[in-house]
Structure 1
């Protein structure tokens, strides 16, 4: 007599493992803000430049020409011309004054960014120093300045946004749910993103800070999943400090983190809808938990979107990759939704992507 055992245990166990792995990838990839995978900017170039300066001593062999002084001894008649020196002594002070006037330029230039400050130490000249502060403002393209200090903004009222997420990670297709809780009281704000996946749990990101006429001014940005990483915006010292011990960065006007950026773009458009015209661009310093760099955001024009919550007219903005492994950001904001993000798509260099679309929205209270 044969005993019949449970027939589907092994297939069921295999299916469960596959589901767990797939949803684990969801939390790794599904995030409204970009992952901190971009390589941090290196500060080695300035150090290399300083290493170049030592070769100057190598040029010390030049002192060999000093034997030439003996020839000058031959013209002792020169002392007779000593009466001429008085007029020469007059012009002598002018070069000294010129050097003193140039010094303030050297002292002011380091205020732009660390890289500019280091470049001034190389003694590249007054012209280079005058041009250097403009470089961070236009990086990486000379046509778009860092606009955080000049563009006014109008932030939306507190709201809870609910999204459907779909994407691909390592050739696995997945779906998930996302929620953005935006709260503000007119002086400060709190922004929370949560992405939930079945059997695995959730991943969250937070941004909190102040509200100014130019919009959001973050003070702290954090990404929490299997531990927490954070970036602190120290406005007293003008520095950005990272918890992962990567080098500090200069804090530029209007800087945003990779979560507040999505609300800030809409706030800039709400203050002046003309900025949504296709082809317009602006640059904002964007901060992850590891680095800070200028991002050029370009307006791509109007589109009609079919979302889980219904059809809406939206305006698309994008940030194209600047380096081989950078992510591509596409963002759609809707004037009918207080210029809030109704769709966000993030594409990795390997083709993996997260596409989240607005499902619903509801009012929210003020920050605690």
Structure 2
């Protein structure tokens, strides 16, 4: 559907929220979109002790290709990332003709260690919800699956990408090629520890333009593991410029950055 012309959006992301470990006590980041320049979106200088640098609020659009049950498809997607320094919301929506849409959302708090997920929702043909009870260290599932223990730093399947971005943004020099990162990652039926390895820098030519990125891949430990490839871009506040997810049966989704604007 044609979109009426309008003044170009302000593409300057909000400033990065600087999170430092407490030194007791301390008080508690479908029209064509313009791309944000690396200078505008990159992290602000941080104190040496910073553990995470939360990306500034942004709305990223993606061009998507994929395959499901041997059927190729093309789609559009959007990642909304918004926070006020205390609470955050992340929402990923993918829509494809004939396949319908799928929406994942994560809500929670921002802590000195990064994101603390409180509720994760995954909705396509039906909606599944995960509630994070941090006091009892349990994740509870709406489909009746047994609750699972939560480990320190646990993330859901959407917040995990922003948590990785926040860690690398704070001290990128601490993550040279070969570095491994492990995060407990909770889906709608259970939890697993996702192990990522830093593969190194790559420059990508994407629908929205060229982006310098740092590529991470999930280390697969079981035949039925989801293969996760992630390209984080300093020019997007370290949010993903590209995400490729591949199922064990070969089905995949590959989303590539097309543009950015303020939420």
TM-score class normalised by the smaller sequence: 0.7 to 0.9
- Structure with greater strand share of residues: 2
Instruction: Report the equivalent of 2:172.
Output: 273
**Against the structure 1 CA distance between its residues 170 and 200, is the aligned structure 2 distance closer, same or farther, given a 3 Å change threshold?**
closer
Alignment of 1:10-159 (within 5 A): 152-159=51-58
Out of 224, 237, 254, which is 1:355 matched to?
254
Shift of 1:350: 1.4
The CA deviation string for residues 65-96 of structure 1, in whole angstroms up to 9 with x for no partner, is: xxxxxxxxxxxxxxxxxxxxxxxxxxxxxxxx
The CA distance in 1 between the partners of 2:201 and 2:155, in whole Å, is 25
How far does the alpha carbon of each residue in 1:256-311 deviate from its partner, in whole angstroms, 9 at most, with x for none? 00001111111000111123311001111100011111111110001111100111
Q: CA–CA distance in 2 between the matches of 1:347 and 1:278?
A: 23
Does the aligned pair in 1 maintain the 2:154–2:183 contact within 8 Å? yes
Residue 206 of structure 1 corresponds to 105
Q: 1:178 aligns with which of 77, 85, 96?
A: 77
**1:189 counterpart residue number:** 88
d(CA) in 2 for partners of 1:348, 1:313:
27
Give the superposition deviation at 1:153.
Answer: 1.1
Equivalence map 1:239-254=2 (5 Å) = 239-254=138-153
Q: Deviations over 1:35-58 (max 9, x none)?
A: xxxxxxxxxxxxxxxxxxxxxxxx
Counterpart of 1:289 in structure 2 is 188
- SS of corresponding position for 1:237: coil
| Corresponding position: 1:323 with 2:216 | no
Aligned to 1:167: 66
Report if the CA contact (8 A) 2:180-2:198 is conserved.
yes
1:244 CA drift (Å): 1.5
Describe the shift of the 1:338–1:243 C-alpha distance in structure 2 as closer, same or farther (beyond 3 A).
same
Aligned length: 215
Task: Give 3-state SS (helix, strand or coil) of 1:264's partner.
Answer: helix
Instruction: Give the Cα separation in 1 of the matches to 2:96 and 2:245.
Output: 18
Task: Give the ranges of 4+ consecutive aligned residues of structure 1 lying more than 6 Å apart after TM superposition.
Answer: none
Alpha carbons 1:276, 1:301 under 8 Å: kept: no
Q: Distance in 2 between matches of 1:313 and 1:306?
A: 9
Which has the larger share of helix? Answer: 1
CA distance in 2, matches of 1:155, 1:309: 23
TM-score (norm 2): 0.79
The CA deviation at 1:179 is: 0.5
Root-mean-square deviation (CA, aligned residues, Å) is 1.5
Return 5+ residue gaps in structure 2 as ranges: 1-49
Conserved 8 A contact 1:276-1:315: no
Deviation digits for residues 110-129 of structure 1, max 9, x if unmatched?
Answer: xxxxxxxxxxxxxxxxxxxx
Distance of 2:73 and 2:175 partners within structure 1: 32
Contact 2:73–2:96 (8 Å) recurs in 1: no
Q: For structure 1, which runs of at least 5 residues remain unmatched after alignment? A: 1-150
**Contact in 2 for aligned 1:282/1:296 (Cα 8 Å):** yes
TM-score by length of 1: 0.57
